């Protein structure tokens, strides 16, 4: 009987934790349509894009229906001279007090990606004194990149600079940039790439490669969100608990753990409950307060005769409710959202672009049409936010300033008053157009109504106008 063969499914089926990780990754990115169309979810109010999900999931991922808590935190820190981000600080404290680093082990899509990479068959680096020392690096990154640089830039320059997102974050590169650039609809966006993207792309590759050889490298050494949740390790409601009456202090739990823990449940523990399977004393369980979410074989010491039956019943109800929520989310964010339906029923008028040699010849120029220096920018007509139209053909013979900006871009916003002054002073001699990015849910008109009442140049949404037609992500100048 000991040699009975198990089926492939029995030996390969995902654990409950893996199913929860997959579930969260899909729920956080329920806008599946975004992956197909190459656009992020941008529904106007009411929208969930301003709500922080518990785990690490980039706001700019095409499927994301919520905000990354770390990105929101940096924005809140960078704007504390104007307003205090009570919501962001409060939601992070709530997540930390309720779940702590259980979020890292069960609810984080980036944690799932790291674990899948680590499954590749290669030699693995075992934890040691060096890895334990490096585990404190994420607290340095939290202090320097998330808090220090962001706060200093906000105070000194009045601009919110999310330093970690801008210079390090692999989630933004992989989930945001890579998924968007992989879509043929965004082929023109390659003209926006510069040395900053190259550096972040290299950082992403290094972190991904490190995860192949070292379990959860980013989570252990670099993740500032995990550092924040780790601060709540002693008070979090949900987490693995050790039954002191059963524990014989053999240390098998710590030795078998892939994280740099010193004891079960400390600030490095992600509460994955794998240690439960190696504990010969059956002293470890996953609890929410006094309620046992996952028990070792044979149950807990404080179990009652019907405890296991209650856990199974609760599990079925929880999974049923979770699947109902997921089905609703998939239906809403892909088909039922009235803003999406309106967009499908009334597609935006495409920008009229005349890309013929006749256009160049009409303006006595032998320059070819294109986006390189010395080329003639193809003609286009676009409807501005105030209802007027901007015709590039009518500006031929003048310097034309096309400024690509976004409400979230601190430097972009800070320079707009100067562009307005330039346009006001030379309105008869130059032409100008401020194009707002279309990769965010922010309404530029609402922003202009509040902060830009004195800005006089025309504003428009980028819409279908590809950045490749505007030469670069900086200011495009057509001086033909």
**Residue 465 maps to which CATH number?**
3.40.30.10
My answer on whether 288 and 394 are in the same domain is no
Q: Looking at the structure, do residues 193 and 53 belong to the same domain, yes or no?
A: yes
Q: What is the pLDDT of residue 378?
A: 78
* 3-state DSSP assignment of residue 330: helix
Residue 370 — pLDDT band, cuts 50, 70, 90?
Answer: low
CB of 271 closer than 8 Å to CB of 105: yes
Residues 204 and 81 in one domain: yes
Is residue 134 predicted with pLDDT exceeding 60?
yes
Q: Is 139 helix (H, G, I), strand (E, B) or coil?
A: helix
Q: What is the mean pLDDT of residues 45-53?
A: 83
**Residue 66 is assigned to a structural domain of this protein:** yes
Contacts of 45 (CB under 8 A, 6+ apart): none
Q: Is the pLDDT of residue 185 over 50?
A: yes
DSSP-derived pairing of the beta strands 459-461 and 476-478: unpaired
Report if residue 6 sits inside a domain.
no
Helix 86-98 × helix 69-78 angle, to 10° = 140
Which pLDDT score is estimated for 476?
Answer: 34
- Whether residue 137 is found in the same domain as residue 216: yes
- Please indicate, yes or no, if residue 32 is contained in any of the structural domains: yes
Residue 317 lies in a domain: yes
Residue finishing a domain among 300, 335, 370: 335
Q: 322 and 424 share a domain?
A: no
Domain of 52, in residue numbers: 12-335
Question: 317 and 416: one domain?
Answer: no
Averaged over 413-424, what is the pLDDT?
90
Same domain, residue pair 290 and 195: yes
Burial of 105 (0-12, 13-18, 19+ CB in 10 A): buried
Separation between Cα atoms, residue 312 and residue 327, nearest integer Å: 23
The structure tokens 């992070």 sit at 92
Would 320 be classed as within a structural domain? yes
Say if residue 1 is exposed, middle or buried (CB neighbours under 10 Å; 0-12, 13-18, 19+).
exposed
**Segment 67-73 mean pLDDT:** 93
| Percent of the chain surpassing pLDDT 70 | 86
Q: Tell me the pLDDT of the chain averaged across its residues.
A: 85
The predicted structure's pLDDT at residue 288: 93
Q: Is the pLDDT of residue 474 over 50?
A: no
Tell whether 241 is covered by a domain: yes
Confidence of residue 155 (pLDDT cuts 50, 70, 90): confident
For residue 323, how many other CB atoms are within 10 A of its CB?
Answer: 11
Instruction: Assess whether pLDDT exceeds 80 at residue 189.
Output: no
| 287 and 377 share one domain | no
Read off the tokens for 90.
């409060």
Residue 440: its pLDDT value, please? 60
Lowest mean pLDDT among 247-261, 294-308, 383-397: 294-308
Examine residue 405 and say whether the peptide bond preceding it is cis (omega within 30 degrees of 0): no
Q: Residue 343 domain-assigned?
A: no
Final residue of a domain: which of 304, 335, 366? 335
pLDDT cut 90: percent of the chain above it: 52
* Confidence label for 306 from pLDDT (cuts 50, 70 and 90): confident
- What tens digit of pLDDT does each residue of 1-21 get? 455 566 777 777 889 999 999
- pLDDT at position 3, please? 57
For residues 370 and 431, which has the higher predicted lDDT (pLDDT)?
A: 431
Residues 204 and 69 in one domain: yes
* Residue predicted with more confidence, 160 or 143: 143
Q: Let me know whether 330 and 370 are in one domain.
A: no
Does some domain include residue 95? Answer: yes
Tell me how many domains the chain contains.
2
**477 strand-pairing partners:** 401
Cα separation, 178 vs 201, in Å, equals 9
Q: Please tell me the distance from the alpha carbon of residue 468 to that of residue 188, in angstroms, as a whole number.
A: 5
Residue 42's pLDDT band (cuts 50, 70, 90): confident
pLDDT score of 468: 41
The answer on 299 and 388 residing in a single domain is no
* Of 23-27, 139-143, 282-286, minimum mean pLDDT range: 282-286
Which of 309, 335, 361 is where one domain is finished? 335
**Is the pLDDT higher at 162 or at 446?**
162
202-239, pLDDT tens digit by residue? 999 999 999 999 999 999 999 999 999 999 999 999 99
Residues 6 or more apart whose CB falls under 8 angstroms from that of 82 comprise: none
Phi–psi pair at 340, nearest 5 degrees: -70, -40
pLDDT of 256 strictly over 90:
yes
Query: Tokens in use for 141?
Result: 């990154």
DSSP 171-215: HIIIIIIIHHHTSGGGGGGGGG--HHHHHHHHHHHHHHHHHHHST
Is it the case that residue 362 has pLDDT exceeding 60? no
Shared-domain flag, residues 135 and 102: yes
């Amino acid at each position: 009987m000991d040699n009975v063969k198990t089926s492939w499914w029995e030996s390969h089926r995902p654990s409950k934790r893996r199913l929860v990780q997959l579930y969260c990754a899909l729920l956080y990115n329920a806008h599946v349509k975004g992956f197909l169309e190459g656009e992020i979810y941008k529904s106007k109010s009411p929208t969930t894009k301003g709500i922080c999900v518990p785990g690490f999931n980039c706001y700019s991922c095409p499927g994301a229906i919520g905000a990354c808590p770390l990105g929101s935190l940096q924005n809140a820190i960078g704007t504390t001279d104007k307003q205090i981000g009570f919501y962001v600080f409060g939601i992070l404290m709530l997540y930390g007090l309720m779940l702590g680093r259980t979020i890292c082990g069960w609810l984080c899509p980036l944690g799932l990606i790291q674990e899948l990479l680590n499954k590749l068959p290669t030699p693995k680096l075992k934890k040691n004194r060096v890895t334990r020392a490096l585990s404190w690096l994420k607290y340095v990154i939290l202090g320097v990149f998330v808090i220090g640089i962001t706060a200093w830039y906000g105070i000194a320059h009045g601009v919110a600079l999310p330093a970690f997102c801008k210079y390090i974050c692999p989630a933004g590169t992989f989930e945001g940039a890579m998924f968007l650039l992989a879509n043929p609809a965004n082929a023109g966006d390659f003209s926006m790439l510069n040395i900053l993207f190259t550096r972040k792309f290299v950082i992403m590759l290094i972190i991904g490669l490190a995860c192949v050889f070292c379990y959860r490298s980013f989570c252990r050494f670099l993740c500032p969100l995990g550092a924040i949740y780790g601060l709540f390790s002693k008070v979090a409601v949900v987490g693995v608990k050790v039954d002191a009456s059963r524990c014989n202090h053999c240390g098998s739990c710590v030795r078998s753990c892939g994280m740099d823990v010193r004891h079960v449940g400390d600030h490095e523990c992600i509460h994955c409950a794998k240690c439960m399977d190696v504990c010969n004393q059956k002293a470890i369980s996953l609890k929410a307060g006094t309620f046992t979410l996952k028990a070792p074989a044979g149950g807990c010491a404080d179990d009652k005769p019907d405890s296991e039956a209650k856990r199974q019943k609760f599990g079925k109800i929880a999974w049923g409710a979770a699947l109902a929520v997921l089905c609703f989310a998939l239906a809403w964010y892909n088909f039922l959202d009235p803003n999406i339906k309106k967009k499908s029923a009334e597609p935006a008028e495409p920008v009229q672009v005349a890309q013929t040699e006749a256009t160049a010849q009409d303006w006595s120029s032998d320059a070819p049409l294109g986006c390189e220096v010395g080329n003639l920018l193809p003609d286009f007509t676009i409807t501005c936010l105030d209802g007027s139209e901007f015709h590039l053909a009518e500006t031929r013979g003048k310097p034309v300033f096309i400024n690509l900006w976004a409400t979230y871009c601190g430097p972009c916003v800070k320079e707009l008053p100067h562009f307005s002054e330039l346009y006001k002073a030379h309105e008869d001699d130059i032409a100008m157009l401020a194009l707002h990015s279309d990769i965010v849910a922010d309404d530029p008109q609402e922003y202009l109504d509040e902060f830009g009442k004195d800005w006089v140049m025309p504003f428009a949404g980028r819409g279908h106008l590809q950045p490749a037609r505007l030469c670069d992500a900086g200011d495009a100048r057509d001086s033909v």
